[in-house]
Amino acid sequence: MGRTSDAREKILTAAQSLIELRGYSALGVAEICKAAGVPKGSFYYFFESKEALALAVLDEHWAAQRGGWVRALQNEAEPLLRLRRLFEETEADLRTGQQSCGTVSGCMFGNLTLELSNQTEPIRERLQQIFEAQVDMVEKVVTEARQRGDVTVGDTREAARSVVAQLEGQVLFAKLYNNTQHLEALWDNCLSLLSARRPDVAAVSY
Amino acid sequence: MGRTSDAREKILTAAQSLIELRGYSALGVAEICKAAGVPKGSFYYFFESKEALALAVLDEHWAAQRGGWVRALQNEAEPLLRLRRLFEETEADLRTGQQSCGTVSGCMFGNLTLELSNQTEPIRERLQQIFEAQVDMVEKVVTEARQRGDVTVGDTREAARSVVAQLEGQVLFAKLYNNTQHLEALWDNCLSLLSARRPDVAAVSY
């Protein structure tokens, strides 16, 4: 191996899996390199520290997840049904992860927020940017829903943040019980948090 | 020092502070003993492993926090106002912690759920028991509120879990932004999640 062109990608992939399974603090650079199948010298060629790797993992993970959020939230369906699709796809993603590794590992951003955000400022800032981006995307949908008279919230920003908070809270329960069904409450809870009138699900496909 | 009668308490106190600040995986037994001011031999006299210590820390922390939950939720005030008091006291506790250590460390149970619950079954089980106890206490209040016609939820258990999920989600944001004001959304969100009529706050003191 060595400093070949795909070593960086291998390190990132291995680190993402290990961080999802065991968090950040429990990992050492040697273990990450072993899992990636690259010599330790390669690591410091690509990343100046374990923290720099964590930031790259966060960026890569959000780039991938953001695609799913865009597909769920930026389309022609009724606004509230797009939120429902986001919850369904989040549950499906957690279930896929559970099937592949035997356990619900949860949301990497929530995990690292609770593990690290009070310890390292660069990671805290990156996680803030990612959560703000999520709240932005939800807020756009809530604003559209309000324009249509589907919801009656006053502060769309606060409402969007509460929807994301509910998502993170239910993912916590899904991880605690190793059971993705906790996410099934999200749709009803979202309608409640937004003081929404329930859309006619049967009439609309997406 | 040595195996004196207060060494166990010193270890527990030091471990609780360190776990709140830096999580579980980042800590070693030697560091905990150093912070506690006890020799490492004492540790294994009282605890058979770091995991056994973590379980004892969880028990101790819940015994203390549960007292606050009982005072907030089991009294003569209107049921919904008791929930409001729980949120206010949770915010006050987080703010006290922030003032003493400079940062919002969040909810230890949420932190350890996301850090560890998929890795160690004994800790997962203990955290499940603690969260079930929290949901039980909230559900009792929701049931009382429903009997009075203050809320219109169907499934009181699911509603109580959603309230706790919202609490954990907003504590996550409080930690992410080192700002306890995120908990101020909890009262309105709780009323929304419970389809509640807003109680007359001015008329009732607690």
Residue A103 sits at the chain B interface (C-beta within 8 Å): yes
Q: What is the pLDDT of residue A67?
A: 97
> pLDDT tens-digit profile of A61-81?
999 999 999 999 999 999 999
Tell me the pLDDT band of A205, cut-offs 50, 70 and 90.
very low
Dmax of chain A from CA atoms?
59
- pLDDT of B155 > 90? The answer is yes
Nearest to B112 by CA among A37, A165, A26, A176: A176
What does the pLDDT average to over B195-199? 86
Q: Between the CA of residue A3 and those of A28, A44, A53, what are the distances in Å?
A: 20, 10, 16
State how far residue B1 is from chain A, nearest Cα, in angstroms.
31
Which of B25, B164, B175 minimises the CB distance to A23?
B25
> pLDDT tens-digit profile of B119-149?
999 999 999 999 999 999 999 999 999 999 9
- pLDDT of A24 > 60? The answer is yes
Q: Is the dihedral of CA B164, B168, B174, B178 positive or negative?
A: positive
Q: What is the pLDDT of residue B198?
A: 79
Tell me the pLDDT band of A202, cut-offs 50, 70 and 90.
low
Residue B111 sits at the chain A interface (C-beta within 8 Å): yes
Q: What is the pLDDT of residue B1?
A: 45
> pLDDT tens-digit profile of B49-107?
999 999 999 999 999 999 999 999 999 999 999 999 999 999 999 999 999 989 999 99
Distance CA A117, CA A113 (A): 5
- pLDDT of B197 > 90? The answer is no
Q: Which residues of B touch A115 (CB under 8 A)?
A: 23, 111, 114-115
- pLDDT of A109 > 70? The answer is yes
Tell me the pLDDT band of B199, cut-offs 50, 70 and 90.
confident
Q: What is the pLDDT of residue B206?
A: 46
Distance CA A27, CA A173 (A): 24
Q: What is the pLDDT of residue A72?
A: 98
Q: What is the pLDDT of residue B201?
A: 63
Q: What is the pLDDT of residue B205?
A: 47
Q: What is the pLDDT of residue B5?
A: 66
Residues A74/A38, Cβ–Cβ less than 8 Å: no
Alpha helices in A7-78 (DSSP H): 7-22, 29-36, 40-46, 50-73
CA B106-B111-B113 angle, 5° bins = 145
- Tokens (6 digits) for A170: 């239910």
Are residues A166 and B166, on separate chains, in Cβ contact within 8 Å?
yes
Are residues B175 and A117, on separate chains, in Cβ contact within 8 Å?
yes
Residue A60 sits at the chain B interface (C-beta within 8 Å): no
Residues A1/A37, Cβ–Cβ less than 8 Å: yes
Q: Mean pLDDT lowest for which of A190-204, B107-121, B170-184?
A: A190-204
Q: What is the pLDDT of residue A206?
A: 46
* Structural domains of chain A, ranges and CATH numbers in brackets: 1-47 (1.10.10.60), 51-199 (1.10.357.10)
Residue B131 sits at the chain A interface (C-beta within 8 Å): yes
Torsion of CA A183, A187, A192, A194, to 10 degrees: 110
Q: Between the CA of residue B157 and those of B76, B134, B141, B154, what are the distances in Å?
A: 22, 11, 11, 9
Q: Which residues of A touch B189 (CB under 8 A)?
A: 162, 165-166, 193
Q: What is the pLDDT of residue B203?
A: 52
Name, in order, each residue with C-beta under 8 angstroms of A201's C-beta and a sequence gap of 6 or more. A81, A84
Q: What is the pLDDT of residue B2?
A: 46
Residue A97 sits at the chain B interface (C-beta within 8 Å): no
Tell me the pLDDT band of A198, cut-offs 50, 70 and 90.
confident
Q: What are phi and psi of A176, to 5 degrees?
A: -60, -40
Residues B168/A175, Cβ–Cβ less than 8 Å: no
- pLDDT of B161 > 70? The answer is yes
Q: Between the CA of residue A123 and those of A166, A189, B18, B174, what are the distances in Å?
A: 22, 30, 20, 15
Phi/psi-derived region of residue B53, left when phi > 0, alpha when psi is between -120 and 50, beta in every other case: alpha
Q: Between the CA of residue B95 and those of A64, A115, A134, B179, what are the distances in Å?
A: 36, 19, 26, 8
B-facing residues of A in 140-159 (CB < 8 A) are 158
Q: Which residues of B touch A87 (CB under 8 A)?
A: none
Q: What is the pLDDT of residue B84?
A: 97
